[in-house]
């Protein structure tokens, strides 16, 4: 029951060294595979060049911090990634507080620079299906503008998704970025794509993170993305986080600034529906 010679079953057998006894498609890119020893793994297909390598390196880098749990990587090649399956549970306030504390510890594990890729990870990485370059920098406001906002802003302008007046609002916010970026902080070890869909609430009461776009960044960016796309018991997550690592004064006023990055990524990928949110975030930044 391994499937085709280049399918997920064959990939699981080759990368784990175990025969496959069953398969269950989860989506176009994901398949749940049962191995002959009873273990169940998830096999993910990555079609973009370097995407699998970037994700595997990110998972291992996050796991190396020994904080927030991630699915173990059992093997990968250029096209296929094999990881643990995470049995799903229900979000709970207790798990949320623990997740917040663990996320603070993950960020505190640090990175060599803003934009630093995980060890072994490529410079040309991805956030979701959008290309994302990991170019190291030392000055966060300049790095964030140049490598996390402007590439997607230019893309949206070239596509005609953002109008000239809207573009000007975002450009003015970037010009003032050093004024309202908050106190300087060391590079944090970020998940990088921390929306609710990448936060799995396990049946064992532990949160696990999947599908990272891991890199060195500002810790408030992960928190802003959690708020942008919703997270169960977010207030309890933030309580746990601040117990472990208090946030700098005014962090709540900077949420829109950190949301510019994911909102522009979504504008590029999904169109005008996110353009207005990006402009509103730019208008509100620094107020």
Q: Name the burial class of residue 203, with classes exposed (0-12), middle (13-18) and buried (19+) by CB atoms within 10 angstroms of its CB.
A: exposed
Q: Is 6 a catalytic residue?
A: no
Contact in structure between 112 and 250 (CB atoms under 8 Å)? no
Contact in structure between 259 and 228 (CB atoms under 8 Å)? yes
CB atoms within 10 A of CB 202: 16
Q: Which of 63, 65, 99 is nearest to 84 (CA)?
A: 63
Tell me which residue has tokens 């190291």.
Answer: 136
Q: What is the largest CA-CA distance in the chain?
A: 60
Q: Which of 50, 58, 59 is nearest to 77 (CA)?
A: 50
At residue 153, what are phi and psi to the nearest 5 degrees?
A: -60, -50
Q: Which of 209, 10, 220 is nearest to 99 (CA)?
A: 209
Q: Of residues 102, 193, 211, 222, which has the active-site annotation?
A: 193
Q: Any idea how long the chain is?
A: 287
Active-site residue list: 193
């Amino acid at each position: 029951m391994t499937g085709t010679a280049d399918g997920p079953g064959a990939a699981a057998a080759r990368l784990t060294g175990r025969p496959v006894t069953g398969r269950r498609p989860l989506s176009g890119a994901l398949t749940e595979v049962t191995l002959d020893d009873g273990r169940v793994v998830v096999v993910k297909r990555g079609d973009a060049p370097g995407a699998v390598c970037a994700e595997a390196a990110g998972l291992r880098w996050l796991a190396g911090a020994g904080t927030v749990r991630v699915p173990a990587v059992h093997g990968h090649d250029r096209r296929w990634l094999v990881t643990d399956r995470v049995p799903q549970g229900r979000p709970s306030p207790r798990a949320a507080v623990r997740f917040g504390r663990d996320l603070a510890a993950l960020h505190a594990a640090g990175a060599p620079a803003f934009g630093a890729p995980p060890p072994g990870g490529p410079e040309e990485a991805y956030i979701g299906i959008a290309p994302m370059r990991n170019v190291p920098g030392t000055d966060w406001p300049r790095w964030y503008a140049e490598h996390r906002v402007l590439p997607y802003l230019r893309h949206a302008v070239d596509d005609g998704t953002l109008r000239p007046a809207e573009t000007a609002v975002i450009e003015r916010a970037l010009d003032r970025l050093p004024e309202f970026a908050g106190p300087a902080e060391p590079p944090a070890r970020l998940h990088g794509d921390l929306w609710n869909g990448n936060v799995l609430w396990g049946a064992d009461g532990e949160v696990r993170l999947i599908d990272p776009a891991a890199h060195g960044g500002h810790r408030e960016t992960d928190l802003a993305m959690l708020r942008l796309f919703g997270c169960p018991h977010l207030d309890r997550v933030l309580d746990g986080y601040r117990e472990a690592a208090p946030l700098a004064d005014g962090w709540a006023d900077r949420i829109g600034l950190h949301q510019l990055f994911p909102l522009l990524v979504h504008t590029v990928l999904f169109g005008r529906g996110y353009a207005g949110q990006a402009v509103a975030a730019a208008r509100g930044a620094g107020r």
